[in-house]
Chain A
Amino acid sequence: SYELTQPPSVSVSPGQTARITCSGDALSKQYGYWYQQKTGQAPVLVMYKDSERPSGIPDRFSGSSSGNTASLTITGAQAEDEADYYCNSRDSSGNLYVFGTGTKVTVL
């Protein structure tokens, strides 16, 4: 079955830059989406169509995609950015979705 692979954890100092990667074969054909999930809360969409930011999401969040890898970058990380982040895309058929394995971002 289709898989999206993320690093388990990323640590960043306040004000520095964190980059989370997501690798999967279908990412060369399908858009990547990113969700932020804080403890005890439902996920929140922070990036869609690889690099589009929903309204209300701070501009320190940016996204990109190249080949089979999508990336989410937090430039100038803040304490409130500490959360789990999940990438998401469709499989190559476009009919099914899959979530990435998740990355815990720690700001310290």
Chain B
Amino acid sequence: EVQLVQSGAEVKKPGDSLKISCNGSGYSFTNNWIGWVRQMPGKGLEWMGIIYPGDSDTRYSPSFQGQVTISADNSISTAYLQWNSLKASDTAMYYCAREVVIGGSRGPFDYWGQGTLVTVSS
């Protein structure tokens, strides 16, 4: 069974650093892109970026380029989303999601993590 399990909720102060994780199981982790999605309180889904664990190829939405870092550790089948200096506006739920390959073509996000709530407050 494919599963994406994310790390637990975090409460941080402005200026803190943070790295949240997404552990994939039940499939070959290196063969599927993993994306990250932000959902601010009461707002819609925002696509942040995506990584291919097989070769660490990473793409970022222009809105998030330079604001976060996406990485992966294939030895433990885990993708990460990292901030160097959090702001109050980073308060949101963050989801990881697996991109599926359908008929040889990259497809939608078929499995999602449960979400990690990040709260940034002084």
Contacts and interface: CB of A to CB of B under 8 A. Distances in A.
B95 A96 contact: no
Contact of B114 (A42, A49, A99): A42
B44 A102 contact: yes
A69 to B, nearest CB: 18
Interface on chain B toward A: helix, strand, loop, or mixed SS? strand
A99 B115 contact: no
Contacts of B102: 48-49
A95 interface: yes
A100 B30 CA distance: 28
Interface string B34-45: 010100000011
A101 interface: yes
Given A99-B44, A102-B45, A43 B112 contact: yes
A43 B47 contact: no
A96 B45 contact: no
B45 A45 contact: no
Interface stretch (B9-17, B59-67, B72-80): B59-67
Nearest to B110: A45
A86 B59 contact: no
Contacts of A84: 44
Interface residues of B, number: 22
A97 B47 contact: yes
A1 interface: yes
B54 interface: no
B44 A86 contact: yes
Interface string B79-122: 00000000000000001010000100001111011110000000
B51 interface: no
A97 B45 contact: no
A96 B115 contact: no
A20 to B, nearest CB: 14
